[in-house]
Amino acid sequence: MKKNILVIPGDGIGPEVTTWGKAALQQIAKDYGHDFSFDEALMGHIAIEQTGNPLPDETLEKGRKSDAILFGAVGHAMYDNDPSLKIRPEQGLLKIRKELGLYANLRPILLFDELLQASSIKPEILRGTDILFFRELTGDVYFGEKQRSDDRNTASDLMIYHRYEVERIAHKAYKAAQQRSKKVCSVDKANVLESSRLWRETIQEIAKQYPDVKTTHMFIDNAAMQLIKDPKQFDVVLTANLFGDILTDEASQIAGSMGMLASASVGDGTGFFEPIHGSAHDIAGKNLANPLASVLSAALMLEISFGLKEEAQTLVKAVDKVLKEGYRTKDIADKQTASDKVLGTREMGDLVLKYLAK
């Protein structure tokens, strides 16, 4: 199979981790006889520095033409400390999501048995958890109009949804649920928000077309609680952009660490694959980042964009093997288990490749 893959390393630990996602794809290509070619492009703070634009036209162009995108992260402390800066790294990410029509963000909460202990949650609560989040990614308060009064004392963001935006992601979520445990939990705040009431109405309508799937509705505050209290109750969780952002980061604690979670953004065209962890500037360049989420993002690409299930499984198994043998990056090391072998980013990446090679 011949594919063009665009790598967008971005900021912070982005370059360090995408190196390993890319290397894993190269190894798979070699082992399975595929022809993957790679190009690279700028986004985020590094793009602002080099071009003045968090998403240069060239990146977008390359993205449109590629078969899939492997992305790292964007962000930088200087923007976080100065809210008045007008040009910001995150704008690049939001714009590419919108421009490529990446309206459905899939975040599987994959639980490796070996990491049960790495979580702050009790193993008996976690064991058996298998959640697939569908986060809407191109609507909501992220993209509604932003305003700041002339005197700078009032600021607003419009939380807005159109029915078709809810419908199209709902269909994706229900179809996925049909292949899984046939449950969709839709999360909103319909007791307060009009946009949530539209969300709930729409889901109620779509649900009728999937009578084999059991639908429940939960308020976001309750969902944030239930996710910790009893994660096993969930199968597919379907929610809006902002609520999805919050819930999936929270859910990373189920998998033991943010460093383990991959995500796939899909929609109208090219798929976009990224770890859910951010740029983590505090550990950037220190060989501390966990490369496994990028490797698992590559696995999602193989499965979802290229339909290469076996290849994807091979990647996941290599990650599993590394963990089974007790290797850990710092974020997933169990302070209580002296037998953990703690590795840096490069050593962990190398090891995955080694296990992959045969």
Ligand X SMILES: CC(C)[C@H](C(=O)O)[C@@H](O)C(=O)O
User: Catalytic residue among 245, 320, 334, 350, which?
Assistant: 245
Beta strand pairing call for 271-275 and 262-266? antiparallel
- Phi-psi category of 73—alpha, beta or left, where left has phi over 0 and alpha has psi -120 to 50? beta
Q: Identify whether the C-beta of residue 185 lies closer than 8 Å to the C-beta of residue 214.
A: no
79 makes contact, choosing from ligand X, a second copy, none, with CB < 5 to 8 Å by partner type, with a second copy
Partners of 68 in the beta sheet? 5, 271
Q: DSSP letters of 45-110?
A: HHHHHHHS-SS-HHHHHHHHHSSEEEEEE---HHHHH-TT-SS-HHHHHHHHHHHTT--EEEEEE-
Is 245 assigned a catalytic role?
yes
Q: Binding a second copy by CB under 8 A: which of 31, 39, 61, 155? A: 155
User: Catalytic residue among 130, 157, 249, 320, which?
Assistant: 249
- Can you read off the two tokens belonging to residue 127? 């064991």
Q: Identify whether the C-beta of residue 346 lies closer than 8 Å to the C-beta of residue 287.
A: yes
- Can you read off the two tokens belonging to residue 284? 């950037």
Q: Binding ligand X by CB under 6 A: which of 147, 156, 191, 204? A: 191
* Residue 1 binds a second copy (CB under 8 A): no
Q: Binding a second copy by CB under 8 A: which of 31, 49, 113, 221? A: 221
135 labeled binding residue: yes
Distance, CA of 351 to CA of 329 (rounded, Å): 12
Which x/- pattern over 53-82 shows residues binding ligand X (rule: CB under 6 A)?
----------------------x-------
Is 210 assigned a catalytic role?
no
- Can you read off the two tokens belonging to residue 35? 């022809």
Q: Identify whether the C-beta of residue 23 lies closer than 8 Å to the C-beta of residue 291.
A: no
* Residue 211 binds a second copy (CB under 8 A): no
Distance, CA of 226 to CA of 185 (rounded, Å): 12
Q: Binding ligand X by CB under 6 A: which of 99, 130, 245, 320? A: 245
* Residue 128 binds a second copy (CB under 8 A): no
Is 221 assigned a catalytic role?
yes
Nearer to ligand X, 37 or 222 (CB): 222
* Residue 338 binds a second copy (CB under 8 A): no
Residues annotated in a binding site for substrate: 97, 107, 135, 221
Binding-site ranges for ligand X (CB under 6 A)? 75, 90, 93, 191-192, 221, 245, 278
Binding-site ranges for a second copy (CB under 8 A)? 75, 79-80, 83-84, 88, 90, 94, 120-122, 125, 141-142, 144, 146-148, 152-164, 189-198, 200-201, 204, 217, 220-222, 224-225, 227-230, 242, 245-250, 252-253, 258, 278
State the catalytic residues.
142, 189, 221, 245, 249
